[in-house]
């Protein structure tokens, strides 16, 4: 079963390079001559329009010398350009448009989005065009923005959840940690130059590495026309950045590893386990199975929830998988009951070892998980201004066909598929475990006596 629809998925990928991709109703797609893909989503729920540009950039394109600079670049997008030469003028223009705006930087995507009155669509597209194609990088602006970006980093470092995430990810990805760390490195951020910004722009900010999405109370014909008029002369870079600047392959984890981090701000302990999961390039079917598996474990009746949360060993025990083109992480995040931390960890280990068992899920639980994913889809489609971000995430890390076919493929996942997935990526595979705890609780509960992958996995 699995292999059949895996082939279907792979077939879809090869077709999509030249053909109109499959898309949901009211989604329209064009690829301009310069390589820019444009998707228009007609959704007249409220009289607003949202525009978003996403670029295949982010942590995965960053070696150590550029760690965090995709993110700094994202900030500089909102600084100065040929039409709005300083940030005050830029922001004033957003106010004139009455826009709600932001940008994000992740593993494999950098995106920028604006929402405004539907009648401001042309003005908004021009505004975005000036920012993405004609930015101005001045040393004085960068001097002011570097501490801002570093301040975002320090805010993260003031949170124990982030501290634990950094610790576990450093040990998961090793030498290639920068490829999974969008926030970056303090020193690199604080010494970034306008020249480095231009290097990023020239490498990745081209129409043939970007997608433009226009969504809301718009008509697709008019939206395509406007987009073509404004973005049609954006010059193709002449190369595929993913080919010219290849992403190094992550080496599989060789052995399990663990760490206990002491932090005075961790008022209650957090526990994290991470494995290297599937990726879209090598196992697109596995990426869908991973989502169903996570959903099945997060259902109240699952053995995982019953053993940990129902029994009072943990306040929270969630499993996530993030779809990536280059190795997606599978993560278990647990907030243990500090009074029962040893039992909690032992139960986590016990359960993980059983994840691949034939009877770990009932068919009913699996069906519930799938039904939940389908109903969540209805909720996820409720807010029109969020639709572009959902679409661009999949565009950057998978494909539009993958996005469109996702629900059907998810319904095809079987218990056997899940067993194979768990065996391939989790059971008997190296794991990285981390615990963050304050000094007082560390002395009281002595996690070093039992929190170890050496003894457990």
Partner 1 sequence: MKRIIQHITIYVLTAIPLVTLAQTDKAYDMNINGVKVIVQPSGNEIVVIQTIIKGGVQNYSADKAGIESLAINALTECGTLKDDKNSFKDKLDKISARVNGGTGMDFAGFTLNCIKRDFETAWPLYTDAMLSPRFDEKEFNRMRQDAINIIRAGESNPDNAIRKMARQTAFAGRNYAKDPEGTVEIVTKLTAAETKKYWESVFTRSRMVIIVVSELDKSMIEGKVKEFLAKVPAGTAFKLKEETYSPEANTFKPKERENATNYIQGITGAPLPGTADYNAFVLAMRIFSMRHFIEIRTKNGLSYAPGSRFSEGKTPYANFSVSTTEPDKYIAVARNLIDKVKKEGFTAEELKNEKTGYLTGIYYRQETNEEQANALATNEVVHNNWKRSVDIKNDINKVTLEQANSAFKKYIGYVTWVYQGDPKKVDGKLYTQKTTPPIPAEKKAF
Interacting positions 323-362 with partner 1 (CB under 8 A): 333, 335, 337-339
Please, which residue, 236 or 411, has the CB nearer to partner 1? 411
Count CA atoms within 13 Å of residue 116 on its CB side.
22
Is residue 430 a contact point for partner 1 (CB under 8 A)? no
Ranges within 158-197 binding partner 1 (CB under 8 A): 158-161, 165
β-bridge mates for residue 81, sequence order: 135
Measured between alpha carbons, how far is 31 from 231 in angstroms, rounded to an integer?
A: 12
The answer to whether 262 touches 442, Cβ cutoff 8 Å, is yes
Please, which residue, 99 or 348, has the CB nearer to partner 1? 99
Contacts of 92 (CB under 8 A, 6+ apart): none
Minimum CB distance to partner 1, residue 426 (Å) = 19
Q: How many residues lie near partner 1 (CB under 8 A)?
A: 71
Element (H, E) at 332: strand 329-336
Out of 20, 102, 187, 306, the residue judged to bind partner 1 by CB under 8 A: 306
3-state helix/strand/coil string of 25-55: CCEEEEECCCCCEEEEEECCCCCEEEEEEEE
Out of 22, 126, 138, 146, the residue judged to bind partner 1 by CB under 8 A: 146
Segment contacting partner 1 by CB under 8 A, of 23-31, 151-159, 246-254, 275-283:
151-159
Please, which residue, 122 or 157, has the CB nearer to partner 1? 157
Is residue 299 a contact point for partner 1 (CB under 8 A)? yes
Measured between alpha carbons, how far is 58 from 104 in angstroms, rounded to an integer?
A: 9
Which residue in 82, 80, 118 sits closest to 97, CA to CA?
Answer: 118
Contacts of 138 (CB under 8 A, 6+ apart): 80, 194
CA 28 distance to own-chain centroid? 24
Ranges within 269-288 binding partner 1 (CB under 8 A): 270
SS3 202: helix
Is residue 152 a contact point for partner 1 (CB under 8 A)? yes
Please, which residue, 61 or 368, has the CB nearer to partner 1? 368
Out of 1, 20, 24, 47, the residue judged to bind partner 1 by CB under 8 A: 47
Minimum CB distance to partner 1, residue 8 (Å) = 27
Please, which residue, 126 or 340, has the CB nearer to partner 1? 340
CB neighbour burial string for 17-41, b if at least 16 within 10 angstroms, e if fewer: eeeebbbeeebbbbebebbbbbbbb
Please, which residue, 6 or 324, has the CB nearer to partner 1? 324
x-marked contacts with partner 1 along 98-137 as a string, rule CB under 8 A: xxx--------------xxx--------------------
Is residue 383 a contact point for partner 1 (CB under 8 A)? yes
139-157 vs 194-204: helix crossing angle, rounded to 10: 80
Minimum CB distance to partner 1, residue 232 (Å) = 28
Segment contacting partner 1 by CB under 8 A, of 63-71, 92-100, 201-209, 419-427:
92-100
Segment contacting partner 1 by CB under 8 A, of 122-130, 147-155, 166-174, 206-214:
147-155
Minimum CB distance to partner 1, residue 228 (Å) = 26
Q: Is 376 exposed, middle or buried (0-12, 13-18, 19+ CB in 10 A)?
A: exposed
Please, which residue, 195 or 382, has the CB nearer to partner 1? 382
Measured between alpha carbons, how far is 184 from 146 in angstroms, rounded to an integer?
A: 12
Ranges within 6-45 binding partner 1 (CB under 8 A): 44-45
Out of 223, 266, 273, 324, the residue judged to bind partner 1 by CB under 8 A: 266
DSSP E strands, 11-135: 27-31, 37-42, 48-55, 100-105, 110-117
Q: Which two tokens stand for residue 138?
A: 């001045």
Minimum CB distance to partner 1, residue 382 (Å) = 5
Please, which residue, 149 or 288, has the CB nearer to partner 1? 149
β-bridge mates for residue 41, sequence order: 27, 215
Please, which residue, 48 or 285, has the CB nearer to partner 1? 48
Is residue 219 a contact point for partner 1 (CB under 8 A)? no
């Amino acid at each position: 079963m699995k292999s059949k629809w895996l082939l279907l998925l792979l077939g879809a990928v090869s077709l999509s390079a030249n053909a109109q991709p499959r898309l949901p109703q009211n989604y329209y797609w064009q690829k301009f001559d310069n390589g820019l893909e444009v998707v228009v989503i007609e959704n007249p729920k409220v009289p607003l329009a949202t525009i978003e540009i996403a670029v295949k950039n982010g942590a995965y394109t960053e070696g150590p010398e550029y760690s965090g600079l995709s993110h700094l670049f994202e900030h500089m997008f909102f600084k100065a350009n040929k039409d709005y030469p300083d940030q005050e003028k830029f922001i004033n223009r957003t106010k004139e448009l009455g826009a709600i705006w932001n940008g994000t930087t992740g593993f494999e995507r950098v995106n920028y989005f604006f929402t405004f009155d539907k009648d401001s669509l042309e003005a908004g597209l021009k505004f975005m065009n000036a920012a993405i194609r004609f930015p101005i990088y001045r040393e004085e602006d960068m001097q002011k923005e570097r501490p801002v970006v570093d301040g975002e980093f320090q805010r993260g470092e003031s949170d124990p959840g982030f501290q634990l995430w950094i610790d576990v990810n450093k040990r998961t990805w090793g030498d290639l940690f920068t490829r999974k760390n969008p926030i970056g490195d303090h020193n690199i951020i604080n010494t970034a130059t306008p020249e480095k910004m231009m290097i990023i722009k020239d490498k990745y900010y081209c129409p043939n590495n970007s997608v433009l999405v226009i969504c809301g109370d718009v008509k697709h014909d008019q939206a395509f026309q406007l987009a073509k008029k404004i973005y049609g002369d954006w010059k193709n870079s002449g190369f595929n950045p993913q080919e010219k600047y290849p992403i190094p392959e992550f080496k599989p984890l060789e052995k399990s590893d663990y760490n206990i981090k002491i932090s005075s701000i961790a008022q209650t302990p957090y526990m994290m386990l991470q494995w290297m999961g599937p990726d879209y390039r090598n196992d697109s079917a596995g990426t869908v199975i991973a989502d169903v598996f996570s959903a099945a474990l997060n259902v109240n009746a699952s053995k995982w929830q019953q053993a940990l949360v129902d029994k009072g060993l943990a306040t929270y025990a969630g499993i996530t998988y993030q779809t990536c083109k280059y190795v997606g992480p599978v993560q278990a995040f647990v907030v243990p009951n500090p009074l029962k931390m040893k039992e909690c960890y032992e139960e986590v280990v016990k359960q993980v070892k059983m994840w691949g068992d034939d009877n770990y899920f009932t068919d009913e639980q699996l069906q519930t998980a799938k039904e939940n994913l389908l109903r969540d889809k209805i909720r996820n489609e409720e807010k029109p201004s969020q639709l572009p971000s959902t679409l661009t995430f999949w565009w950057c890390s998978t494909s539009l066909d993958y996005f469109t076919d996702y629900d059907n493929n998810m319904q095809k996942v079987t218990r056997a598929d899940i067993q194979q997935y768990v065996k391939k990526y989790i059971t008997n595979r190296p794991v990285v475990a981390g615990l963050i705890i304050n000094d007082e609780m560390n002395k009281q509960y002595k996690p070093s006596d039992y929190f170890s992958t050496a003894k457990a996995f």
